[in-house]
Amino acid sequence: MPAAAGEPAATSRLARASGWSQATVSYHLGILARSGLVEGRRRGRMVVYRRTVRGDSLIGG
């Protein structure tokens, strides 16, 4: 994730950091979530994502 060292980040923040649209980022985060690599938690109108233990283990974090 482009957030600093695996910090939780909202879809909008990840979109700004990557230069991709929010729809594209959301789509790919959905794939990562279904794979168990990230998890999202709703905070009001936004969803904040963070890597899971499984996601961390794959990148050596």
Q: What is the mean pLDDT of the chain?
A: 91
Question: Which residues does residue 23 pair with via DSSP β-bridges, in sequence order?
Answer: none
The CATH number of 4-59, from 1.10.10.10, 1.10.8.60, 1.20.140.10, 3.40.1050.10, is 1.10.10.10
Q: Tens digits of per-residue pLDDT, 19-55?
A: 999 999 999 999 999 999 999 999 999 999 999 999 9
C-beta separation of 15 from 21 below 8 A:
yes
At 1 the pLDDT is: 47
At 4 the pLDDT is: 55
The residue to which tokens 């230069």 are assigned? 19
Q: Where are the domains of the chain?
A: 4-59
Q: In whole angstroms, what is the distance from residue 18 CA to residue 49 CA?
A: 15
- pTM of structure: 0.83
